[in-house]
Amino acid sequence: MKISVFGCELSGLVTAGALAQTGNEVMALPIGIVKVEDLQNGVLPREEPGLASLIKSQYEEERLFFEADWSLGVEYGDVLFLSMPSWNIRKAEDIVDLISSTAEKDLIVVNQSTFPIGTADRFLQTIQQGFSCRGVEAKVAVVSMPEFMSEGSAVKDFTRPDRVVLGGDCQEAIATIRDIMRPFNYTVDQIKVMSTRAAEYTKYAVNALLATRMSLVNELANNAEHFDIDMEQVRQGLGSDGRVGFSYLYPGCGFGGPSFAEDVKTLVGTLESKGYDADLLKTVLSNNESQKEVLFRKAWRYFHNRLQDKTIAIWGLSFKPNTATVDNAPSLRTVEALVAQGAKVVAYDPKGKKAFQRYWGEDRQGVSYVNDMYQALENADALMVLTEWKHFWNPDYERMKSLMAQPVIFDGRNIYDLNVMKSKGFEYFGVGRGQFI
Amino acid sequence: MTLDVSPAWQALQVHCDAGLGTMAMSQLFKNDRDRTDKFSHEFDDLYVDYSKNRITEETMSLLFDLADQQDLSGWIYKLLSGEKVNDTEDRPALHTALRANHKGVSGFAAQVQDDVDAQFDNMSRIVNKVRSGHWRGFSGKAITDVVNIGVGGSDLGPLMITQSLQTIKSPVNLHFISSIDGTQTSNLLNKLKQETTLFILASKSFTTIDTLSNAETAIDWLEEAIKDKQEIYSQHFIGVSTKPDMMTEWGIPPENQLIFWDWVGGRYSLWSAIGLPIALQIGMDKFRELLEGARIMDEHFGSEPFERNLPVILGLIDIWNINFLNIQKKAILPYDARLKYLPSYLEQLVMESNGKSVNRDGKEVSYKTCPVLWGEVGPNAQHAFYQLLHQGTQKVMCDFFALKIRDDFDASSHTGRNESLKSQHELALANCFAQSRVLMLGDDAIPESLKANFDSPFKHYPGNQPSNTILMKDISPKTLGMLIALYEHKTFVEGVIWEINSFDQWGVELGKLIAKETKAALQDASLAEQFDASTRKLIEKVTS
């Protein structure tokens, strides 16, 4: 099948690569700042496990190629995927307008992007109007197929999905997409078919539910401290309850990322603009913003409201391990808060430095960056762990202690054992670990 | 020679007795078609119509003579350059220096500019820290609520301005507590959280019992949550005063202190660090726009000839109404609910400044001075005391305030709600203009076709109540700055004519002293033995 994929960010590239791998001929078209030449040379906008080799192999085998001119994409594919960040809906509208005004043949538009509820219906209407104005008799369908890819496991999420949600009213179109997705749906049928709006809403609802769960766990953890309770023990008890389960049960210094938190914000925005209730979700979001500063607050109290000239080492800037992305990451708020109080921040992150620097400002004072996790600890008055990169889990404790001015650790991901830290001579504060400062 | 036998005064008296004292304003408008062109003045964002007063060109000319006789120009110069116009307290009254921004200042007013800059820089640092969420409470959370504890000038100015500018969205919630009885305090504190609340302790003298007693209650409340007393003072209190030593002694660390000076009168202090709540709400840039609005009016007051000088004209018209037409009441009537506290603010500004009966030489005056001033949001007052204005036995002069533009909604957007708000704005303007017209014309305002309906002694409107109408472009920091400075200077003009010191307030001192004695008597009844029978009985009633 000939397929055009509009959008060459993470989800677009994964989709294009994976569909090419199963034998489709795929044209991928960037919609933002990503350049065709870069893609042809294997320079990708994001580092993602398995993605570079997938793209390279498919490009070399000539089932995947890149073009800049959207009209070529409209002409080429029988199925057109829209795969772009939610804030870039304007570009999606431009592409839909282009389809509406130039397409001549039967086609299926598959929207993977997280756009407001009702967008797929609106796109269908636009294209149908264009067709009828121009007297084009071709058939068109819009299918909503929300992507559930997480950074760090995006390729696997697409090729071995927990479920594929397909939203659409046209049985023929659903059958076509079902067939395209067949290689990834082989063992057990994971495809759930529903209305387009239900599919759009499902994506929002999943994120809303997970965000609420994490926020609640954080609130329970923060309060556990007041009662001298270690939330880690409570987590074991909670997770083993079959109704609760273990996933998304870790307390920590807040969730971030470019789409997850943003999607919940968009949902709240949509609900509020229409005057509907969003009280719980609003609280979830504001709790999370506050939670991003939880380590700052601990340090603030530990140092008796005086952080002026304290040196704070930070391990981890990206919003989660194995990604360079810092969008909405706790590091942004934490560093901002520390520097505003006159603290000096020395930061280490294996991948996130560049992106963080872009947010923070290249020339802005207050933060210095190092390329070695131990170097960050030199003369530090405290260490803050903000991202649970694998190599942070078992560091050389003795070396840490000898480098630091004070052996104080604030752990936003609860990766260390309370007793071990105590025996190694650290003052150790996790999130919800029973010690209230 | 006392004022009321001086030549200029006598000339006005003769002029008044010759007929103007009883002349109907409807007649004055009939006599002169150009009257409003002559008796109105547009300056920057303000249009002031004072034609609905019982004045003629001759009246104004004689009033200007009176101003010259009283050396008003000399006094304006003394005020603006920082001479000690407050002679009983031996100091200048330099609120104008706070907003001069180095422009057009001389004498002491020029000398203090650097000090003023330094305090605004200090204020800016605090304002930015709070507004950006980087002022932290003891627990590390950002401050969400700021409570201004102050009374009189340390309360009314910031309260009035922040209410007036309520459409400018504030990153923190502002609250004001002032009253000595503590009920505002206890009600408010029940709703706030210690960790996210910051108090401003605003007291010029830092001895005001009202303010300090409310602050002590706030401290007790903070101590319920905060163990470390030092953190209470360093994270939850900002002091604003002329007395840094006393602030330090009370516990406020120097970096949390904002200073102003004894040459700023309390009721003229919203332009100083006392304006901190305003700056917290609208930001430092907009606070500077407020100052600039006032500065524009200062420059106008200091340089325009009397014939085009708004504070001078409005002050002299008040003199005419009070001393020659014998009108002793003034109503302040804003036709926008955001200006709700303007009447309270002007009550203090005007009555605390000029509510005096002894002249600068310490002699009792033989003429009327400050009128009783009160007011209310106009459309609400129409359902309250306008009855008295229209048909009572009191002569009252009124100041009406209306807006050309309502900036709190988008007039170009034609949604149902915006259309309704536009219509409501027109209703407010229509009511404002109608009321001043009826107060002026009385029965003559009744259309010929309806006259029959009003043929009843109960439906008779005497009219002839004078008024000024101040049309503001909008409610913005700048127009408010201009408006308040206009009233400050107008009040000073009247004080100069009456030969009184507008900048002291000895009248409020004795009551404070006696309150201390009475407080002691409430704890120990034997101390009340020397009191009068009425007070003794009241004490007995509440203590037994």
The residues pairing with B175 across neighbouring beta strands, listed in sequence order, are B147
In angstroms, what separates the C-alpha of B289 from chain A's closest C-alpha? 27
Residue B505 buriedness (CB in 10 A; 0-12 / 13-18 / 19+): buried
Domain B128-286 has CATH 2.40.110.10: no
B459 is catalytic: no
User: Once rounded to an integer, what is the mean pLDDT over residues A108-128?
Assistant: 95
Contact in structure between A220 and A399 (CB atoms under 8 Å): no
User: Once rounded to an integer, what is the mean pLDDT over residues A217-227?
Assistant: 95
Which residue on chain B is closest to A287 by alpha carbon?
B141
What's the confidence (pLDDT) of residue B525?
86
User: Once rounded to an integer, what is the mean pLDDT over residues B16-21?
Assistant: 89
* Residue A107 tokens, joined: 């086609």
* Residue numbers in B near A307 (CB within 8 A): none
Residue in A223, A225, A300, A436 to test binding to B, most B beta-carbons within 10 Å: A300
* Residue A173 tokens, joined: 């179109």
* Residue numbers in B near A382 (CB within 8 A): none
**Is pLDDT at B1 greater than 80 in this prediction?**
no
User: Once rounded to an integer, what is the mean pLDDT over residues B61-67?
Assistant: 98
**A305 contacts B231? CB cut-off 8 A:** yes
Cβ-based neighbour number of residue A32 at 10 Å:
13
Cα B265-B266-B267 angle, rounded to 5 deg: 95
User: Once rounded to an integer, what is the mean pLDDT over residues A95-101?
Assistant: 96
Q: Which ranges of B198-356 would DSSP assign to H, the alpha helix?
A: 209-223, 229-236, 244-250, 276-282, 284-303, 310-319, 342-346, 353-354
Cα separation, A317 vs B455, in Å, equals 84
CA within 13 Å, CB half, A423: 5
* Residue numbers in A near B229 (CB within 8 A): none
Query: Hey, what amino acid is at B201?
Result: L
What's the confidence (pLDDT) of residue B29?
94
User: Once rounded to an integer, what is the mean pLDDT over residues B239-247?
Assistant: 97
Cα separation, B323 vs B395, in Å, equals 13
What's the confidence (pLDDT) of residue B499?
98
DSSP state of B43: E
Query: B3-69+304-498 with B128-286: one CATH topology?
Result: yes
User: Once rounded to an integer, what is the mean pLDDT over residues B327-335?
Assistant: 98
Cα separation, A342 vs A333, in Å, equals 15
Contacts of B231 (CB under 8 A, 6+ apart): A304, A305, B138
Contact in structure between B13 and B324 (CB atoms under 8 Å): yes
DSSP state of A414: -
User: Once rounded to an integer, what is the mean pLDDT over residues A30-58?
Assistant: 91
Say if strands A2-6 and A79-82 run parallel, antiparallel, or are unpaired.
parallel
Q: How confident is the model at residue A351 (pLDDT cuts 50, 70, 90)?
A: very high
DSSP secondary structure of A332-370: HHHHHHHHHTT-EEEEE-TTTHHHHHHHH-TT-SSEEE-
CATH placement of domain B3-69+304-498: 3.40.50.10490
Cα separation, B176 vs A52, in Å, equals 61
**Centroid of chain to Cα A272:** 24
Q: Which of B168, B171, B176 is nearest to B131 (CA)?
A: B171
Contacts of B481 (CB under 8 A, 6+ apart): B99, B289, B290, B291, B292, B293, B294, B295, B296, B297
Phi-psi region at A354: left, alpha or beta (left = phi > 0; alpha = psi -120 to 50)? alpha
DSSP state of A308: T
* Residue B485 tokens, joined: 């400075």
Query: Which residues from A are below 8 Å from B when comparing CB atoms?
Result: 290, 293, 296-301, 304-305, 337, 340-341
Which residue on chain A is closest to B231 by alpha carbon?
A305
Which residue on chain A is closest to B141 by alpha carbon?
A297
Contact in structure between A258 and A325 (CB atoms under 8 Å): yes
**A297 contacts B140? CB cut-off 8 A:** yes
**B231 contacts A304? CB cut-off 8 A:** yes
For residue B331, give the H/E element and its range.
strand B329-334
Condensed to tens digits (0 to 9), the pLDDT of residues A268-279 reads 998 998 999 999
- Which strands make up the sheet holding B396-403, listed edge to edge? B40-43, B46-49, B467-472, B396-403, B329-334, B372-375
Q: How confident is the model at residue A336 (pLDDT cuts 50, 70, 90)?
A: very high
CA dihedral B180, B183, B187, B189 (to 10 degrees): 30
Which among B140, B231, B234 has the least Cβ separation from residue A296? B140
What's the confidence (pLDDT) of residue A144?
97
What's the confidence (pLDDT) of residue A217?
97
Q: Which of B213, B166, B173, B214 is nearest to B193 (CA)?
A: B173
* Residue numbers in A near B134 (CB within 8 A): 337, 340-341
Condensed to tens digits (0 to 9), the pLDDT of residues A139-182 reads 999 999 999 998 889 999 999 999 999 999 999 999 999 999 99
In angstroms, what separates the C-alpha of A305 from chain B's closest C-alpha? 7
Cα separation, B195 vs A165, in Å, equals 46
Fold of A208-429: Rossmann fold (3.40.50)
What's the confidence (pLDDT) of residue B339?
97
Residue B17 buriedness (CB in 10 A; 0-12 / 13-18 / 19+): exposed
Query: A2-193 with A208-429: one CATH topology?
Result: yes
In angstroms, what separates the C-alpha of B136 from chain A's closest C-alpha? 8
Cα separation, B299 vs B76, in Å, equals 11
Q: How confident is the model at residue B414 (pLDDT cuts 50, 70, 90)?
A: confident
**A304 contacts B228? CB cut-off 8 A:** yes
Say if strands A25-29 and A64-66 run parallel, antiparallel, or are unpaired.
parallel
Mean pLDDT for chain A?
Answer: 94
* Residue numbers in A near B136 (CB within 8 A): 300, 305, 341
Task: Give the phi and the psi of residue B280 in degrees, each rounded to 5.
Answer: -65, -35
Average the pLDDT over each of A147-151, B153-157, B333-337 and give the range with the smallest value. Answer: A147-151
Cβ-based neighbour number of residue B332 at 10 Å:
24
Contact in structure between A34 and A3 (CB atoms under 8 Å): no
**A341 contacts B140? CB cut-off 8 A:** no
Contact in structure between A14 and A155 (CB atoms under 8 Å): yes
Which among A297, A299, A337 has the least Cβ separation from residue B139? A297
CA dihedral B332, B333, B334, B338 (to 10 degrees): 80
What's the confidence (pLDDT) of residue B20?
84
Catalytic residue among B195, B289, B352, B488: B352
User: Once rounded to an integer, what is the mean pLDDT over residues B81-103?
Assistant: 96
Question: What is the domain partition of chain A in residue ranges?
Answer: 2-193, 208-429
Q: How confident is the model at residue B264 (pLDDT cuts 50, 70, 90)?
A: very high
Mean pLDDT for chain B?
Answer: 96
Cα separation, A246 vs A237, in Å, equals 10
Condensed to tens digits (0 to 9), the pLDDT of residues B198-223 reads 999 999 999 999 999 999 999 999 99
Which among A301, A304, A341 has the least Cβ separation from residue B139? A301
**Is pLDDT at A20 greater than 90 in this prediction?**
yes
B352 is catalytic: yes
**Centroid of chain to Cα B377:** 15
**Is pLDDT at B334 greater than 90 in this prediction?**
yes
Condensed to tens digits (0 to 9), the pLDDT of residues B453-484 reads 999 999 999 999 999 999 999 999 999 999 99
DSSP secondary structure of A42-91: T--SS--TTHHHHHHHHHHTTSEEE-S-HHHHHHH-SEEEE---GGGHHH
User: Once rounded to an integer, what is the mean pLDDT over residues B27-50?
Assistant: 96
* Residue numbers in B near A300 (CB within 8 A): 136, 139-140
Cα separation, B359 vs B355, in Å, equals 11
Cα separation, A66 vs A36, in Å, equals 6
Give the global pTM: 0.90
Cα separation, B423 vs A9, in Å, equals 51
Q: Which of A11, A73, A3 is nearest to A36 (CA)?
A: A73
Which among A293, A301, A305 has the least Cβ separation from residue B234? A305
DSSP state of B350: I
Cα separation, B197 vs B179, in Å, equals 19
**Superfamily (CATH) of domain A2-193:** NAD(P)-binding Rossmann-like Domain (3.40.50.720)
* B523-531: long-range contacts, CB 8 A cutoff, minimum separation 24: none
CA dihedral B288, B294, B297, B299 (to 10 degrees): -60
User: Once rounded to an integer, what is the mean pLDDT over residues B51-56?
Assistant: 96
**Is pLDDT at B539 greater than 80 in this prediction?**
yes
**Is pLDDT at B141 greater than 80 in this prediction?**
yes
User: Once rounded to an integer, what is the mean pLDDT over residues A95-100?
Assistant: 96
Condensed to tens digits (0 to 9), the pLDDT of residues B343-372 reads 999 999 999 999 999 999 999 999 999 999
* Residue A387 tokens, joined: 């991202």
Q: Which of B381, B407, B391, B386 is nearest to B477 (CA)?
A: B407
Question: What is the domain partition of chain B in residue ranges?
Answer: 3-69+304-498, 128-286, 508-543
CA dihedral over A360, A319, A238, A265, signed as positive or negative: positive
B471 vs A260, residue with greater confidence: B471
Q: Which of A184, A95, A197, A209 is nearest to A146 (CA)?
A: A197
* Residue numbers in A near B135 (CB within 8 A): none
**Centroid of chain to Cα B226:** 38
What's the confidence (pLDDT) of residue A258?
84
B58 is catalytic: no
